[in-house]
Structure 1
Amino acid sequence: MRESGLRLNVQHRNALSNDMGALAGLIFNIGSGRYAEPPRGDDAAAVQGWEADLEKVREESTAAHKRWAAERESDATHTEIQGWLRDLGKSLGDGVWIASNDQGRSYRGGRLGDGCLIQLPA
């Protein structure tokens, strides 16, 4: 079974991941009934229903990817603006504090909270 999974992953590498995570997720979704397998035989109505279901899954996937991309872009913009404000404050000689949930964000080869106050002054 593992060898078959590896072959399938290599064969469809452009659509799946190198670490087999996407394949594992696909197999889980098929096994849990989220994605139905194609109908067997010549039942045109069953094939048509399956194709309609497949199109719905593709639309949901496209919408989810667009939401993910927008969230990621928004996150990057948020971090970049915080970085600019951090750098401006530091260049003016001020102590800069970054919110604790943002301190660990990657920014220009380091972390957004690098060189900043650990807590707000009392």
Structure 2
Amino acid sequence: MSEHQPESVRQAWRDVIDTARRSAADGLVVGTSGNVSARVGDLVLVTPSGVPYDRLGPEDAVGVDLEGRQVLGELGPTSELPLHLAVYRSTDAAAVVHTHAVHATAVSTLVAEVPLVHYAAAILGGPVRNAGGVHGV
């Protein structure tokens, strides 16, 4: 990433890298599955497609506007970019972490929605629906 970028953008990219690496270390993703993004104003910084998280560096930054037009970086954005943009367009979210955690994936094949089992999950607003529904994998 260029030193000409504002510090807020450079810090957000460092946060994206740190979060991506932690998700891999915690077993939430394997290889290049899953992706991470952060929003800085109208700029969305997102992990690039096909790059292992432990190899990400400042030069790998990928940025798009809210319409999905790439405005930063040489690598292509994650194929899950539309998911990230949909969240940013419809909420005030500052970041999105999309994982393929083994246990969550297994549960999603058994139930249409995951009930909230911890009081802190109330921030989600209710049960978490999964995309496939029962047997929709």
TM range (shorter): under 0.3
Greater share of helix? 1
TM-score by length of 2: 0.25
Greater share of strand? 2
TM-score by length of 1: 0.28
Q: Answer 1 or 2: higher relative contact order, Cα 8 Å, separation at least 6.
A: 2
Asked which structure has the greater CA Rg, the reply is: 1
